[in-house]
């Protein structure tokens, strides 16, 4: 699941994805708070919300989370790596990134629900005084920084889908006022777009098969 800051900073949205077992890469602001390491998290209250994962913990003077910006500013220079990725138009991009394993701390005054360990990914271009973007991700622990960067920048796919839906299938042409009418309109637009994508993929597979058939199998 990919989402921008408006969703990434919503604790209920994040918790819902965790409860559903859906891995995510979510944008967060520089003020998102995390525990630096699992050892720094405060003791559990022993209380759990019904239907939710993660025990609640008390914040104290000795156990208080930090902003992702503060954590980023503590990273030594050798922890930053130059990573390349490609945008939707195929152009190669490059910037510096850093990662850390953290636990997200909900922004409640006294207590917080302890989240599972996850990735903090930060983008810190050369010449900038501090990182310009941050993400939290529940992708597996063995995920490489290159894979995290690629996933964080995959929003171009969604942007392109949305643009094609608007330009080619009239998603934004609905003029009614009722939910049912809009629901039908959006459903038909999406179904039409899905059909075209299926035809496009089938055509690409057929082209690949024809190209392979041009070359005889070894020993033939």
Token pair in block for residue 30: 């520089």
pLDDT value at 209 more than 80? no
Contact 80, 129 (CB under 8 A): no
Contact 70, 35 (CB under 8 A): no
Angle at 64 between CA 62 and CA 65, to 5 degrees: 145
Identify the band that residue 201 occupies on the pLDDT scale cut at 50, 70 and 90: confident
String of b and e for 8-46 (b: at least 16 CB within 10 Å)?
bbebebbbebbeeeeebbbbbeeebbbbbeeeebbeeee
Tell me, what's the pLDDT at 110?
43
pLDDT value at 219 more than 80? no
Tell me, what's the pLDDT at 127?
92
pLDDT digits (tens, 9 = 90+) for 7-40: 999 988 988 999 999 999 999 999 999 987 654 5
Q: How far is CA 182 from CA 65, 165, 172, 179, 185, in A?
A: 44, 14, 10, 5, 5
Token pair in block for residue 94: 């490059």
Tell me, what's the pLDDT at 42?
54
Q: How far is CA 178 from CA 22, 166, 175, 185, in A?
A: 32, 19, 9, 11
Average pLDDT of the residues of the chain: 81
pLDDT value at 215 more than 70? no
Tell me, what's the pLDDT at 179?
87
Contact 184, 171 (CB under 8 A): no
Q: Rounded distance, CA 53 to CA 71, Å?
A: 25
Residue 204's CB is within 10 A of a number of other CB atoms, namely 10
Contact 32, 9 (CB under 8 A): yes
Tell me, what's the pLDDT at 57?
54
Q: Which residues are registered as beta bridge partners of 117?
A: 103
SS3 of 115, please?
A: coil
pLDDT value at 114 more than 50? yes
Tell me, what's the pLDDT at 142?
94
Q: Is 199 exposed, middle or buried (0-12, 13-18, 19+ CB in 10 A)?
A: exposed
Contact 77, 98 (CB under 8 A): no
pLDDT value at 89 more than 50? yes
Q: What is the domain partition of the chain in residue ranges?
A: 2-153, 160-213
Tell me, what's the pLDDT at 109?
43
Tell me, what's the pLDDT at 59?
54
pLDDT digits (tens, 9 = 90+) for 45-78: 555 554 444 555 555 545 678 899 999 999 998 9
Mean pLDDT in residue range 97-123: 78
Within 13 Å and on the Cβ side, how many CA atoms surround 94?
A: 5
């Amino acid at each position: 699941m990919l989402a921008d800051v408006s969703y990434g900073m919503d604790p209920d949205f994040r918790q819902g994805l965790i409860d559903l077992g859906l891995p995510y890469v979510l944008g967060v602001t520089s003020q998102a708070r995390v525990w630096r390491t699992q050892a720094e998290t405060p003791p559990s209250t022993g209380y759990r919300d019904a239907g939710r994962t993660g025990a609640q913990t008390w914040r104290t003077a000795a156990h208080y989370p930090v902003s992702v910006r503060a954590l980023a500013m503590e990273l030594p220079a050798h922890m930053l790596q130059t990573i390349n990725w490609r945008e939707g138009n195929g152009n190669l991009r490059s910037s510096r990134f850093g990662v850390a394993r953290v636990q997200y701390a909900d922004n409640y005054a006294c207590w917080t629900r302890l989240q599972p360990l996850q990735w903090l990914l930060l983008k810190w271009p050369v010449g900038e005084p501090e990182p310009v973007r941050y993400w939290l991700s529940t992708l597996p622990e063995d995920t490489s920084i290159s894979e995290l960067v690629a996933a964080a920048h995959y929003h171009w796919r969604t942007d392109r889908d949305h643009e094609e839906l608007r330009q080619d299938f009239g998603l934004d042409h609905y003029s009614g006022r009722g939910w049912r009418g809009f629901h039908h309109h959006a459903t038909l637009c999406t179904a039409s777009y899905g059909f075209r994508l299926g035809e496009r993929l089938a055509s690409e597979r057929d082209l690949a098969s024809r190209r392979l058939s041009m070359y005889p199998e070894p020993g033939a």
